[in-house]
Structure 1
Amino acid sequence: MLLKSALPKIRWKYWVKPWQQVDWLLFCLPIAVSIFGGVMILSTELKQPVTDWWWHWLVAGIGTAIALLLARLRYENLLQWHWVTYGLTNFSLIAVMVVGTAAKGAQRWISIAGFNVQPSEFAKVGIIITLAALLHKRTASSIESFFRALAITAVPWGLVFLQPDLATSLVFGAIVIGMLYWANANPGWIILLISPIVAAILFGISWPLPEPITFKEISFLKEISLSPLGLFWAGAMGIVGWQTLPWRKFGLGAIGAWILNMLGGELGVFAWNHVLHDYQKNRLSVFMNPEHDPLGAGYHLIQSRIAIGAGEIWGWGLFKGPMTQLNFVPEQHTDFIFSAVGEEFGFIGCLVVLFVFCLICFRLLHVAQTAKDNFGSLLAMGVLSMIVFQLIVNIGMTVGLAPVAGIPLPWMSYGRSAMLTNFIALGIVESVANFRQRQKYY
C-alpha cells in the first residue's frame, strides 16, 4: 500500500524534474500579460472583422511552448554557437534589405509562407547572446573589451538603422548599455557613449536661447550649427573624458571626448537634414507640441492622451470605452494598446499593469544576480534591458512623455515576431534559472 501511494508522487517529480528550478512566477506573469493583451486587442477590434486577438493568443501559445523547451536545455550550449548566432543575425538583416517587403516607408519584413517575419526583432536576442559570450570572460572593465563589444554590435545595429528602423536600433543601444554596465564598464565610459546622442539633440535646440550660429555664407560650412547648450555639453563631456579615459597624458581623453560630442552634434544636424525620413522627423517634432499638427503627426499622441484621461480612476469598463470602441486611436492594437487599458480600466488598471511588469523586471534581475556564471547573468541582464527600455518608451509615448517611436509593449501589443522574440528571450532566462545550483528533493 505504501509503495502504491508513493508512485503518483514519484511520477509527478519525474515529469517536473527538468524544470524544477524554473522561476515559475517569472514564467507565468508574461503568459498572463499575453492573455490580457489578447482581450485588449479584441476590445480595440470588437466592431471590425479581424482576428488579431486570436492570432495574438495562438502565437503566445507557440511562444510558451518554445520557452518551456528552451528552459530545459542548458544555456551554456549557446556559448559554442554564439558566432553562428551572430552570423545568422547579420545574414537575416542583410536578406531583409535584399528580398524584404517594404511598408510604411521601411523595408523590415520577409514574407515566409504568407507570414511577415521581422528579422530585426529576433536580432535583439542574437545580440544579447553574442555580447554575453564576449563579456563573460573578458569583462568591460578594460577599454579594449569595451570597444570590442561596441565594434561587434555596430554591424547589426547599422544594418537595422539602414532599413530604416530607428526604434529597434534604440533598443539595441539600450541592450548594449545595460550589458556593458553589468560587465563592470566604467560608468563614465557609458556616459560618454550616450553623450553624442544628447549633443545631437542639444545642437538642434535654440529656444529659449539665442539662435545657433550658422555659416550660410561659406558653402563648405553651411551645415555647421553651434548651439550654446551643445557647446556647454561638449565641454562637460570633455571633463568626464579627462577623469575616466586612460589617455590622460596631454589631456587626450578630454580632447577626444570634446571632439566626439562636437562631431555628434554636427552629425545630428546633418542626419536631421539629410538622413531621417519625413515620418521620423514628424514623430520627433510633434512630441514637443502635438497640437501643432493635430490631424497629422500629432493625431496619435492627442487621441491616446484623451483616451487615457477619459478612463479617470476606474475606467469605463471592458468593451465600453468610447474612444476605443469608435476607433479614434490609430494603431491601438499594436503600439498604443496601453491607451485602451487606460480608458477601459482607468488609473487603477494602469497601475496593476505596471505592477505586473515591475514584478517581471524584478524577477529578471533576481535571475541575473543568482546565476551560476557570468554568461548566464549577462543573458538575463540583456533581456532585462530590452524589456525595461521597451516598457518605458511605449508607455511614455502613449501618455505623451516620449516621442512616438514604434516600439511595442512586451507581450501585450500585437506583433507576431515581437511576441516570439520575447518568449524566446524568456526561455533563455528560465534556462539560466533552471540550471543554477540545484536544490535536493527527497
Structure 2
Amino acid sequence: MYFVEKTKGLNIVKNFDYLLFSAVLLLSTLGFLVVRSATLTRADGGFRIAVSQLAGLVIGITLAVIMSYIDYKDFKLFGSGLYIVSVILLIVVLKFGSGEELGSRSWLDLGFVTLQPSEVAKVAFIMVASIFLERILEGQRRGSFIKLILYSSIIIGLVVIQKDFGTSMVFMAIFLIMLFICRVPIKYFVSMVAAIIPVGLIMWFFVLNEKRKGRIISFLYPELDPQGAGFNVLRSKYAIGSGQLWGKGLFEGIQTQNNMVPVKESDFIFSVIGEELGFIGAVVIVFLLFFILIRCIYIAKNSRDKYGSIMVIGVAGMIAVHTFENIGMSIGILPCTGIPLPFVSQGATNLVTNFMAIGIVLSVSARRKKVIFNSSQ
C-alpha cells in the first residue's frame, strides 16, 4: 500500500478554488453554445449532439466537484486502478472499436453512449506517471524511471496501434513536459528525446499512409492540394478571417452554417469561433484557456508536495498541448491531427475527462496551504 498523507480538518467550501472553477464553467458554457451553432444544420438540428454535450457537461461538473473533496494523495490508489481499467478498454477497443472511417479505431459504441478510452487514459496516465516522477525526484531513480517508461509505453503503444497518432503525440508531449518541468536528470530527458527521432522516422516511412503524410505536408503548403489534403486548413482560415473584429454573430456564419468547413463541431471548432464571434470572441476563448493554464501553474508552484505539483503540471500540459494544436491546425501553423479544443469541442468523453483533470487540480488547490498529519494505510 502507498503511504498516504491526509489533510485533517479541511473546510472544502472555504478552500474551494472558485476562481478556477468559474473560468472552466464559463469556457464550457461558451463551448456548448458554439457546438450548438456548429451542429445546427444537421438533419436533426444537432439535437442528439446537444443532449450528449449537455450530459457530458453535467457529469463532468459533478465529477470535478466530487474529486475536489477527495484528498489528492488517494489518487495514487485511484490512478493505479484507473490505469488498469484504461489499458483493458484500450485493448477492447482494438477488437470491438469503431471509427476506422475517420482514420482510427478509437471509439467504443455502448449503445446509449460512445466512449473514447484514450481520453480516460490521459487522466490515468498523469496520475500514474506522477507517482514515479515523485520517486525519481526523491532519489529513487533507476527502478522508478524504468517503471515510468514501461507504464507509459503500454498506454502510448496501444493508442498508436489504434492508428490514433494525434492522441499518441499528445501523450508523448505531456510526458516530455512533465519530465522537463520536474527537472528530471538531463541524461534521462535526452535519452527520451533521442528515442523520438528514430521512432519518428520509422513512423514516417513504414507506418503513416499517404493521407496522413498529406496532412503533415499540407500545414506547410496547403495551397499545393487545395481540394485534397489542404482543403480543411484553407476553409478553416477563410472562415476565421471572414469573422473580422466582431464576427457575423452566433448561428450566422456563412462558411460554417453552409457546411463549408469540415468537422467544424470538433477538430475545427475554432473556425466557428473565429467566423461567428470574430477576433473579440476568439480572444475571450484564448484568454480563458490561458487563465486556466496560469492558474494551474500557480497551484503547482504552491502545492504542499511534489506529487500534487507534478499532477497539476501534467494537467496543465494536457490542456496546453490540446489548445496549441487545435488552434494551430485551425490557422494553418500546425498539422491537422484531430485534437479537440479543451472544454469547447464536441465530444462528451473529452469533456468529462477535462473536468476530471480539473477535479485533480481543485483537490490540490484546496489543500495547498493546509497542515499535514501523517497516517498510514
Counterpart of 2:165 in structure 1 is 166
- State the secondary structure of the residue aligned to 2:114: strand
Answer yes or no: is the 8 Å Cα contact 2:136–2:145 preserved in 1: no
- The alpha-carbon deviation at position 269 of structure 1 amounts to 4.2
- The alpha-carbon deviation at position 350 of structure 1 amounts to 1.4
Structure 1 position 437 matched with structure 2 position 369? yes
- State the secondary structure of the residue aligned to 1:137: helix
- The alpha-carbon deviation at position 371 of structure 1 amounts to 1.2
- The alpha-carbon deviation at position 175 of structure 1 amounts to 1.5
**Range with bigger deviation, 69-78 or 387-396:** 69-78
Answer yes or no: is the 8 Å Cα contact 1:125–1:425 preserved in 2: yes
Q: Which amino acid aligns with 2:334?
A: A
- State the secondary structure of the residue aligned to 1:316: coil
Counterpart of 2:39 in structure 1 is 45
- The alpha-carbon deviation at position 410 of structure 1 amounts to 0.2
Structure 1 residues 142 and 79, CA gap change in structure 2 (3 angstroms) = closer
Answer yes or no: is the 8 Å Cα contact 1:43–1:318 preserved in 2: yes
- The alpha-carbon deviation at position 287 of structure 1 amounts to 1.5
Q: Which amino acid aligns with 1:134?
A: F
Structure 1 residues 396 and 182, CA gap change in structure 2 (3 angstroms) = same
Map 1:11-50 onto structure 2 (within 5 A).
17-48=11-42, 49-50=45-46
Task: Select which of 206, 209, 217 maps to 1:274.
Answer: 206
- Give the Cα–Cα distance (whole angstroms) in 2 for the partners of residues 310 and 128 of structure 1: 39
Q: Which amino acid aligns with 2:228?
A: G
Map 1:13-412 onto structure 2 (within 5 A).
17-48=11-42, 49-51=45-47, 52-103=49-100, 104-139=102-137, 144=142, 145-187=144-186, 189-197=188-196, 199=197, 264=198, 268-412=200-344
Structure 1 residues 46 and 87, CA gap change in structure 2 (3 angstroms) = closer
Answer yes or no: is the 8 Å Cα contact 2:220–2:333 preserved in 1: no
Q: Which amino acid aligns with 2:163?
A: P
- The alpha-carbon deviation at position 320 of structure 1 amounts to 2.0
> What is the RMSD computed on CA atoms of the aligned residues?
2.1
Cα displacement string for residues 81-105 of structure 1 (whole angstroms, at most 9, x for unaligned residues): 4433332221111111122224323
**Range with bigger deviation, 173-182 or 395-404:** 173-182
**Range with bigger deviation, 172-181 or 327-336:** 172-181
- Give the Cα–Cα distance (whole angstroms) in 1 for the partners of residues 186 and 284 of structure 2: 33
- The alpha-carbon deviation at position 337 of structure 1 amounts to 0.7
Task: Select which of 349, 355, 360 maps to 1:423.
Answer: 355
Answer yes or no: is the 8 Å Cα contact 1:371–1:436 preserved in 2: yes
Answer yes or no: is the 8 Å Cα contact 1:141–1:184 preserved in 2: no
Answer yes or no: is the 8 Å Cα contact 1:21–1:435 preserved in 2: yes
- Give the Cα–Cα distance (whole angstroms) in 1 for the partners of residues 150 and 68 of structure 2: 30
- The alpha-carbon deviation at position 436 of structure 1 amounts to 2.6
Cα displacement string for residues 374-403 of structure 1 (whole angstroms, at most 9, x for unaligned residues): 111111011000000110010000000000
Q: Which amino acid aligns with 2:181?
A: W
- State the secondary structure of the residue aligned to 1:400: coil
The size of the alignment, in residue pairs, is: 357
Structure 1 residues 76 and 142, CA gap change in structure 2 (3 angstroms) = closer
- The alpha-carbon deviation at position 438 of structure 1 amounts to 3.8
- Give the Cα–Cα distance (whole angstroms) in 1 for the partners of residues 335 and 77 of structure 2: 40
Cα displacement string for residues 200-234 of structure 1 (whole angstroms, at most 9, x for unaligned residues): xxxxxxxxxxxxxxxxxxxxxxxxxxxxxxxxxxx
- The alpha-carbon deviation at position 189 of structure 1 amounts to 4.5
- State the secondary structure of the residue aligned to 1:367: helix
- Give the Cα–Cα distance (whole angstroms) in 2 for the partners of residues 377 and 348 of structure 1: 33
- The alpha-carbon deviation at position 167 of structure 1 amounts to 1.0
- Give the Cα–Cα distance (whole angstroms) in 2 for the partners of residues 140 and 185 of structure 1: 11
- State the secondary structure of the residue aligned to 2:336: coil
Q: Which amino acid aligns with 1:397?
A: M
Q: Which amino acid aligns with 1:190?
A: F
Q: Which amino acid aligns with 2:207?
A: V
User: Unaligned 5+ residue runs, structure 2?
Assistant: 1-9, 372-377
Structure 1 residues 17 and 345, CA gap change in structure 2 (3 angstroms) = same
User: Unaligned 5+ residue runs, structure 1?
Assistant: 1-15, 200-263
- The alpha-carbon deviation at position 301 of structure 1 amounts to 0.1
Q: Which amino acid aligns with 2:152?
A: T
- Please give the TM-score of this superposition, normalised by the length of structure 1: 0.76
- State the secondary structure of the residue aligned to 1:76: helix
Cα displacement string for residues 229-265 of structure 1 (whole angstroms, at most 9, x for unaligned residues): xxxxxxxxxxxxxxxxxxxxxxxxxxxxxxxxxxx1x
Q: Which amino acid aligns with 2:258?
A: L
Cα displacement string for residues 92-141 of structure 1 (whole angstroms, at most 9, x for unaligned residues): 11111122224323211112233210100000001101011122233287
Answer yes or no: is the 8 Å Cα contact 1:108–1:119 preserved in 2: yes
- State the secondary structure of the residue aligned to 1:108: coil
- Give the Cα–Cα distance (whole angstroms) in 2 for the partners of residues 89 and 71 of structure 1: 22
Computing the radius of gyration from Cα coordinates, the structure with the larger value is 1
- Give the Cα–Cα distance (whole angstroms) in 1 for the partners of residues 139 and 190 of structure 2: 15
Answer yes or no: is the 8 Å Cα contact 2:17–2:366 preserved in 1: yes
Answer yes or no: is the 8 Å Cα contact 1:141–1:186 preserved in 2: no
